[in-house]
């Protein structure tokens, strides 16, 4: 009996003196993302939604969301995770960062769960993330909001538009490999698997050239100093980005002039695959086929859709453009001839 008790005491001593690996590896305590999301309801404008999403960023009821029509119509209601409804007022906005800071008109004694922007972090391409938002107005009271499992595809500067509105943000955004930017999702929260805030879900917008819908989030590390300045009443600083002076044809121009449609160049290094050919177009007569991968234009190596857009912009009416494509793992030469007045003719060699 003495030997058994001695063994038990020895095990207890070792357990007490050894640090717990689970405790040392646990990330900083973070609130349930469901409890920091607010459902926003306001006035719709035209065909724009009358609802959206926001993220609590202070225990006193400050909320961030995108700087869209909801925050400028003068009437806004926020519903928290437990179904409580608050009037919300707009404190500050930044068109350069497409973010707005709201304040819930709550009792002084009210305290809220909130996302601590000090814990915002950058992540790598391929990182799994969760997107929380009230897309499609699935929640109106104390119901949980929607959660989408996604992956970070890339960090890129985004050239996009919403109708005639040009996306103004100059910093890179997180491109998301999932359909996250739905009706009502703008202003939702993107977190990594540990719950750390990663991004603010953006608007329903299209890529400026390809006109495809873009799923993206503005990095929280970008928004952190902006929101902090708003909370402190200071002026925000506009980010800078070098401008691209190289002339480029848009996807629409390439399709209109040549009947050649490439894969949407949403990321910088999208391979230059042919996605579609307009019947009886110069591209069709030249022999292009869907699935062709453009490798060369003249002697210039093509590594992306952007390379094609830049290279084709260099040609003038009457010039011949020689292409080399990979078709079923075989090289195929093709030729286009730029025509007069923005039109094009084509010949197959």
Interatomic CA distance for residues 24 and 191, integer angstroms: 21
For the sheet with 165-166, list strands across it.
165-166, 160-162, 205-207, 213-214
Q: How far is it, in rounded angstroms, from Cα 57 to Cα 114?
A: 5
β-sheet bridge partners, residue 77: 41, 87
Q: In whole numbers, what is the pLDDT of the chain averaged over residues?
A: 81
Cα–Cα dist 298/302, whole Å: 10
pLDDT of residue 287: 93
Q: Containing H/E element for 137?
A: none
Residue 70 reports pLDDT greater than 90: no
The span from the CA of 241 to the CA of 170, in Å, is 6
Residue where the block lists tokens 């814990």:
119
Q: Tell me, what's the pLDDT at 185? A: 95
Partner residues linked to 217 by β-bridges: 174, 201
Q: What is the pTM of this model?
A: 0.63
Q: Show me where the domains of the chain are located.
A: 27-236, 251-346
- pLDDT score, position 280: 87
- Residue 8, sorted as left (phi over 0), alpha (psi -120 to 50) or beta, turns out to be alpha
Q: Residue 28 above 60 pLDDT?
A: no
Run of H or E residues at 283: helix 282-286
- The answer to whether residues 172 and 155 touch, using CB atoms and an 8 Å cutoff, is yes
Would you state the pLDDT for residue 171? 77
Residues 6+ apart with CB under 8 A from 11: none
Residues of the chain with pLDDT > 90, as a percent, come to 48
| pLDDT tens track for 187-245 | 999 999 999 999 999 988 887 777 788 899 999 999 999 999 999 887 655 544 444 45
Mean per-residue pLDDT for 275-296? 91
- Angle CA 33–36–38, to nearest 5: 120
| Span 127-173, pLDDT tens digits | 999 999 999 999 999 999 999 999 999 888 877 666 555 677 777 89
Q: What topology is assigned to 27-236 in CATH?
A: Thrombin, subunit H (2.40.10)
CATH of 251-346, one of 3.40.47.10, 3.10.400.10, 2.30.42.10, 3.40.710.10: 2.30.42.10
pLDDT tens for each residue of 73-93: 667 999 999 999 999 998 988
């Amino acid at each position: 009996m003495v030997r058994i008790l001695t063994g038990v005491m020895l095990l207890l001593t070792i357990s007490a003196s050894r640090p717990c690996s689970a405790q040392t590896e646990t990330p900083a305590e973070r609130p349930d993302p469901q409890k920091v999301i607010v459902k926003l309801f306001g006035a719709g404008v035209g065909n724009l939604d009358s609802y959206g999403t926001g993220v609590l960023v202070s225990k006193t009821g400050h909320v961030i969301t995108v700087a869209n029509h909801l925050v400028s119509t003068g009437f806004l209601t926020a519903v928290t995770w437990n179904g409580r409804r608050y009037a919300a007022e707009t404190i500050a906005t930044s068109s350069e960062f497409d973010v707005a800071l709201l304040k819930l008109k709550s009792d002084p004694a009210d305290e809220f769960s909130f996302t601590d922007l000090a814990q915002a972090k950058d992540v790598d391409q391929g990182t799994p993330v969760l997107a929380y938002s009230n897309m499609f107005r699935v929640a109106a009271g104390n119901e949980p909001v929607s959660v989408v499992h996604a992956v970070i595809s890339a960090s890129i500067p985004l050239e996009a538009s919403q109708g005639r509105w040009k996306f103004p943000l100059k910093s890179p955004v997180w491109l998301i490999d999932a359909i996250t930017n739905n009706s009502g999702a703008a202003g939702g929260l993107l977190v990594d698997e540990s719950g750390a805030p990663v991004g603010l879900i953006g608007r329903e917008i299209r890529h400026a050239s390809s006109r495809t819908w873009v799923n993206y989030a503005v990095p929280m590390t970008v928004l952190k100093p902006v929101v902090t300045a708003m909370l402190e009443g200071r002026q925000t600083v506009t980010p800078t980005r070098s401008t691209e002076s190289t002339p480029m044809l848009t996807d629409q121009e390439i399709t209109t002039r040549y009947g050649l449609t490439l894969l949407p160049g949403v990321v910088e290094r999208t391979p230059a695959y042919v996605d579609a050919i307009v019947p009886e177009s110069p591209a069709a007569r030249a022999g292009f086929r869907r699935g062709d991968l453009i490798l060369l234009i003249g002697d210039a190596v093509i590594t992306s859709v952007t390379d094609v857009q830049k290279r084709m912009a260099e040609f003038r009416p009457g010039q011949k453009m020689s292409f080399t494509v990979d078709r079923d793992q075989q090289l195929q030469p093709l030729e286009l001839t730029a025509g007069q007045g923005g039109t094009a003719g084509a010949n197959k060699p």
